[in-house]
Amino acid sequence: MSGFVQHGPGEFCPVMTRPGELPIEPDGTNPTPAPDWPASGDCRNCGRWGVIYETPPLDPAQADLAERFARWFGGSLAWDLGVREPYAPLHKDLFDLHARVEVVVLAGNAGAAPVTAQQCRECGGDGWPCKTLRVMAEWHKGVPGWDERWSA
């Protein structure tokens, strides 16, 4: 588990927490949990006063594009398995291995707020589908539902 505490404009502190634990030691000025968050208190990482920063969820457009890729490619691979295409089992294994995961990253310039991003469980990197899946997907381009944004 991890969270972030904001100490000032552009100053975010990553904090490792145990389940159920807040990244701050509440200072009592706003009792938690309360409807009037953000909760403030002393940072469990550096000890300075700060406010809990809630990382916004993944951009819905990105999430949707990835979701559509998973459905389209999964469907195409399932069809290949059905017709006993010789490489289908291998491609299915690779597809399962290079799964999509969501991660919180401190992207870009120093001082940038943490963002939720998606990446490949196997390759890491930025975005999903990864290069491996994109190269494999090129072979399925003729299948209805293909999107040019998935090109390798």
Binding residues vs Zn ion (CB under 5 A): 5, 13, 43, 45-46, 98, 120, 122-123, 130, 132
Cα 49 from chain centre: 28
Nearer to Zn ion, 62 or 132 (CB): 132
Nearer to Zn ion, 49 or 146 (CB): 49
Nearer to Zn ion, 91 or 98 (CB): 98
Tell me the C-alpha distance between 122 and 120, whole Å.
5
* Least Cβ distance, residue 60 to Zn ion (angstroms): 23
* Least Cβ distance, residue 144 to Zn ion (angstroms): 24
C-alpha separations of 29 from 7, 8, 40, 42 in Å: 16, 18, 8, 11
Q: Is the peptide bond before 38 cis (omega within 30 degrees of 0)?
A: yes
Q: Which residues pair with 103 in a beta bridge?
A: 117
* Least Cβ distance, residue 51 to Zn ion (angstroms): 11
Tell me the C-alpha distance between 14 and 45, whole Å.
7
* Least Cβ distance, residue 3 to Zn ion (angstroms): 11
Nearer to Zn ion, 39 or 83 (CB): 39
